[in-house]
Copies of this chain bind each other. A is one copy, B any other.
């Protein structure tokens, strides 16, 4: 079990300690669930009030916090961020297959497996695939022909990565995700839908996390590109030839049609859909269930179906709800006119 001294926590927080300087904590817990031996955090007035009743042994709080608290305090510029850094250190190790190739895995003779790699039971690594240092390929995963996976990645059980794809470092992929399936491209010839060969691939940059049962399709030509630091929730779908910028976040069940380009730091609510061949600026935010049908400029906040600027969307929604009043007014006017 991991543990941290309050001194170590203060180092992570770049802050100062108030109270017992010899404490050790064993877990990081939210304010409502905190127990003895845990460190928690309180970032605002309301939380600080709650903190006065805490059972936690220590708390990360804003610099300058004063008052009577039943636990040690560690100051931090941003308690929420510092708490996550501390929680990362205190998280129990995630179970992983033993180092090396499990005897029940199948690894092609010419696959290149780096030092420190773990490959779990029943995993399949095809010919020409490369797996980088310390990467973990859990049970039942499939890595296609010639696909390259970087270092320090974690593929949970039963992930599928098709042939010819390139994944960077520190990538996390959850179970059931499928990387590199054919883009959805057909040409109607008057009698049948001809298959348009999808001869491109998928490239995923460093620090990306992909949720359970998410899908990212290979390009028709060229590459479907996922920028560094993007996070995809479960059951999200990225179609062929998309080019997703850095540090974008997509909530569950989002669908991105073919050849969509996005800037960086785009945040997308659940069940949003993007039409194909559109361009989304950086720092955009989309409310859940939006239907995005055209280009969106940098810094936009959009909502609705079709999606539009949130202020317009709210105004239209407000207007829509005022129709009852409008009807009443018209009746009043009509009465007046009749009375004249």
- Interface residue ranges, A against B (CB under 8 Å): 27-30, 33, 78, 80-81, 84-85, 87-88, 90-92, 94-95, 102, 104, 106, 120-122, 124, 126-127, 138-140, 142, 144-146, 156-158, 160, 162-164, 172, 174-176, 178, 181-182, 184, 186-187, 189-190, 192-197, 199, 207, 209, 211-213, 215, 217, 220-222, 229, 231, 233-235, 237, 239, 247, 249, 251-253, 255, 257, 270-271, 273, 275, 288-289, 291, 305, 315-316, 319-324, 326-327, 329-330, 333-334, 336-337, 340
Contact = CB atoms under 8 A, between A and B. Distances in A.
Contacts of A271: 255, 271, 273, 291
A94 B157 CA distance: 24
A324 B334 contact: no
A144 B120 CA distance: 12
B330 A321 contact: no
Given A29-B221, A217-B212, A323-B320, A81 B189 contact: yes
- Count of chain copies: 3
Contacts of A30: 220-221
Given A33-B221, A78-B189, A192-B229, A270 B273 contact: yes
Nearest to A194: B84
Contacts of A333: 330, 333-334, 337
Given A212-B215, A235-B237, A323-B323, 18 more contacts: A30-B220, A30-B221, A81-B190, A84-B195, A92-B199, A95-B126, A140-B160, A158-B178, A160-B175, A172-B195, A181-B234, A186-B249, A193-B247, A211-B215, A271-B291, A273-B288, A319-B320, A333-B337
Q: Which 10 A-B pairs have the closest CB atoms?
A: A91-B197, A319-B323, A95-B145, A178-B212, A181-B212, A160-B175, A142-B157, A174-B181, A106-B121, A215-B234
B330 A193 contact: no
Contacts of A142: 138-140, 157-158, 175
A329 B330 contact: yes
B213 A176 contact: yes
B174 A156 contact: no
Given A176-B213, A233-B184, A333-B333, A257 B273 contact: no
A212 B288 CA distance: 24
Looking at A81, A193, A333, A336, the one whose CB has the most chain B CB atoms below 10 A away is: A193
A303 to B, nearest CB: 10
Given A139-B124, A196-B87, A273-B289, A158 B158 contact: yes
**Interface residues of A, dominant DSSP:** loop
A47 B251 CA distance: 37
Nearest to A198: B91
B326 A327 contact: yes
B320 A324 contact: no
Contacts of A106: 102, 104, 121-122, 139
A187 B323 contact: no
Contacts of A336: 337
Contacts of A275: 288
Nearest to A160: B175
Contact of A160 (B80, B156, B199, B220): B156
